[in-house]
Amino acid sequence: MNRTLSLVIELAVGKGEVSIWKNGEFLRESKPSGESMSSEDVLIHIRSLLQDEKSSIAAVKEIVCSTGPGGYTGIRVGIATVKGLQKAAGLEAYGYSTIDALLLGAADSSRAVLEAGRKEYLVGDLRSFRIIKHFELPALIVEQRIECVVGAVGDPGKLESLIKTTNATFVNASDNVNKLLYELHVERKGEGSSLSPIYGRSFPTGSAK
């Protein structure tokens, strides 16, 4: 059987999402209706997607996942699942930064914003990122002359209201991370891929002053 399918697992943001692609074209996606996905849930969603396409894991060539930053548990589950499928089914496996995916095609003056906690955001570009208190975000935007904020958070409206106090524009990417992750993979053709996790809490907390 020809291996023409690609699976994308994005668990670093929100409750997670799994999608299936064929020769670069989007076919289907699957999201949890309740809690965030466990490793077992991911496999169930993958099985369901393949069944809907009347296919099987034997037709899958590669699997792509987000390595963070983002939710600690989601990152771990996503990478562990990918490594398991890589070994069990002989798949090619690729991992990319959530921030790199969010900023795909964005201007240099753009920043990605993810949730780091109930009252904190993780703000980053392609080189670095740091965690700040949510009320410090407007000051940081002005200080660094950020022109566009690409956000993937649970409550985009709250983030957008903070952005409106500055001259920056806001792009809500909360429902688009999975697609951006695959587009990043296609653009890079696997270069720079790593399955090493990126945990936001591993980096110093910053503040806008």
Domain boundaries, the chain: 5-98+175-202, 99-172
Q: What is the mean pLDDT of the chain?
A: 91
Pick among 1.10.3720.10, 3.30.420.40, 3.30.360.10, 3.40.50.150: CATH of 5-98+175-202 = 3.30.420.40
Interval 101-112: pLDDT, tens: 999 999 999 999
d(CA 190, CA 170): 29
pLDDT range class, residue 149, cuts 50, 70, 90: very high
Whether 177 and 101 have beta carbons less than 8 Å apart is answered as yes
Structure tokens at 37: 């996905």
Structure tokens at 6: 């690609």
* Percent above pLDDT 70 for the chain: 95
Indicate whether 177 pLDDT > 90: yes
Pick among 3.30.70.260, 3.30.420.140, 3.40.50.720, 3.90.470.10: CATH of 99-172 = 3.30.420.140
Q: CA–CA distance from 141 to each of 50, 53, 77, 111, 169 (Å)?
A: 43, 45, 33, 9, 11
pLDDT range class, residue 207, cuts 50, 70, 90: very low
Interval 39-70: pLDDT, tens: 899 999 999 999 999 999 999 999 999 999 99
Interval 122-135: pLDDT, tens: 999 988 899 999 99
Whether 180 and 150 have beta carbons less than 8 Å apart is answered as no
